[in-house]
């Protein structure tokens, strides 16, 4: 009798232990699921989707008229390499860019030709040229710096032609929806890496003709130790208006 009772007690103990073990496993699984759900919710609020970087070296966009003035009547640019943005390409042709003090040789032309000629340089380039271009969104040339372009068949002077391009992110309407941002809005971007720079006031540009990519110039890339193809993260919406330096 005593022996049977003991066995029963042992069995009970065994079952309790098993149940405890089962409960423990159950709790671990639930925790895992909870963590996963929280992670998914967080991602929905701030998508953990990275954005590839494209570093823009100094370049020139030419109007069709200026292509002919620099390279000759009826001249067509030669496609050298497709760029990441659909339809855009780097041409074989280069021009000399002249500022107030010096020149930059062999500056790459990007195609296809555009309505207006636009030269995009870094501040380092501008200092070397002795020019004072403003920071502008591409295409906004009112008040841009004067610049002279010299090609094999002639030269052109553009009174409002040179800018330092505002950093920006190209994206499709679908990307904009996923990131929860709109065309023309400014956001912050974190680079990661050793330097871990945060860029604020990064302009969002939305079009179904675009591919997701953030464009910075060579000065910005060097400051953040970034190369084309490396990725950054959109971290927050930027509500900060720019204020004058020293105020």
Is 59 or 69 the residue whose CB approaches Zn ion more closely? 59
Is 68 or 120 the residue whose CB approaches Zn ion more closely? 120
231 DSSP β-pair partners: 52
Q: Which residue's CB atom is positioned nearest to Zn ion?
A: 215
Is 69 or 215 the residue whose CB approaches Zn ion more closely? 215
Is 66 or 215 the residue whose CB approaches Zn ion more closely? 215
- Taking contact as CB under 5 A, which single stretch among the options 75-83, 93-101, 123-131, 213-221 is the one that binds Zn ion? 213-221
215 DSSP β-pair partners: 54, 168
Nearest alpha-carbon partner for 231 in 71, 48, 35 = 48
Rounded Cα distance, 39 and 57, in Å: 38
Q: Yes or no: say if 183 and 219 are a contact pair by the CB < 8 Å rule.
A: no
- Taking contact as CB under 5 A, which single stretch among the options 33-41, 126-134, 211-219, 236-244 is the one that binds Zn ion? 211-219
- Taking contact as CB under 5 A, which single stretch among the options 105-113, 120-128, 190-198, 212-220 is the one that binds Zn ion? 212-220
Is 70 or 203 the residue whose CB approaches Zn ion more closely? 203
- Distance from the first to the final alpha carbon of the chain: 94
- Taking contact as CB under 5 A, which single stretch among the options 90-98, 101-109, 128-136, 214-222 is the one that binds Zn ion? 214-222
Cβ-proximal residues to 140 (8 Å cutoff; 6+ apart), any chain: 163
Rounded Cα distance, 132 and 100, in Å: 9
Least distance between Zn ion and beta carbon 165 (Å): 7
Least distance between Zn ion and beta carbon 229 (Å): 15
Residue labelled with tokens 């040789």: 105
- Taking contact as CB under 5 A, which single stretch among the options 9-17, 31-39, 129-137, 209-217 is the one that binds Zn ion? 209-217
Is 59 or 215 the residue whose CB approaches Zn ion more closely? 215
- The pair phi, psi for residue 174, each rounded to 5°, is -65, -45
Cβ-proximal residues to 243 (8 Å cutoff; 6+ apart), any chain: none
Is 72 or 139 the residue whose CB approaches Zn ion more closely? 139
61 binds Zn ion (CB under 5 A): no
Beta strand 155-165 pairing with 145-150: antiparallel
Structure tokens, 220: 């910005």
Question: Which x/- pattern over 158-197 shows residues binding Zn ion (rule: CB under 5 A)?
Answer: ----------------------------------------
Count of residues engaged in binding Zn ion, rule: CB under 5 A: 1
CA separation, residue 60 to residues 32, 75, 79, 119 (Å): 54, 16, 14, 4
Q: Which of 59, 69, 167, 215 binds Zn ion (CB under 5 A)?
A: 215
Residue 51: CB atoms within 10 Å: 19
Q: Which residues bind Zn ion (CB under 5 A)?
A: 215
């Amino acid at each position: 009798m005593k022996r049977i009772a003991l066995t029963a007690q042992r069995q009970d103990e065994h079952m309790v232990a098993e149940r405890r073990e089962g409960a423990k496993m159950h709790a671990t699984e639930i925790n895992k699921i909870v963590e996963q759900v929280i992670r998914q919710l967080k991602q929905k609020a701030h998508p953990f989707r990275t954005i590839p970087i494209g570093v823009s070296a100094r370049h020139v966009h030419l109007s069709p008229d200026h292509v002919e003035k620099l390279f000759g009547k009826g001249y067509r640019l030669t496609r050298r390499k497709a760029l990441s943005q659909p339809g855009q390409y780097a041409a074989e042709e280069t021009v000399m860019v002249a500022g107030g003090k010096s020149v930059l040789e062999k500056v790459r032309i990007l195609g296809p030709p555009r309505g207006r000629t636009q030269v995009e340089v870094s501040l380092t380039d501008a200092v070397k040229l002795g020019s004072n271009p403003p920071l502008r969104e591409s295409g906004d040339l009112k008040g841009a710096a004067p610049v002279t372009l010299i090609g094999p068949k002639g030269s052109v002077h553009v009174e409002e032609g040179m800018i330092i391009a505002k950093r920006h992110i190209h994206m499709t309407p679908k990307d904009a929806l996923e990131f929860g941002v709109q065309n023309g809005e400014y956001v912050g971007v974190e680079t990661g890496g050793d330097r871990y720079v945060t860029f604020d006031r990064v302009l969002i540009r939305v079009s179904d003709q675009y591919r997701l990519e953030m464009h910075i110039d060579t000065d910005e890339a060097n400051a953040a130790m970034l190369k084309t193809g490396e990725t950054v993260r959109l971290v927050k919406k930027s509500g900060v208006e720019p204020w004058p330096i020293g105020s």
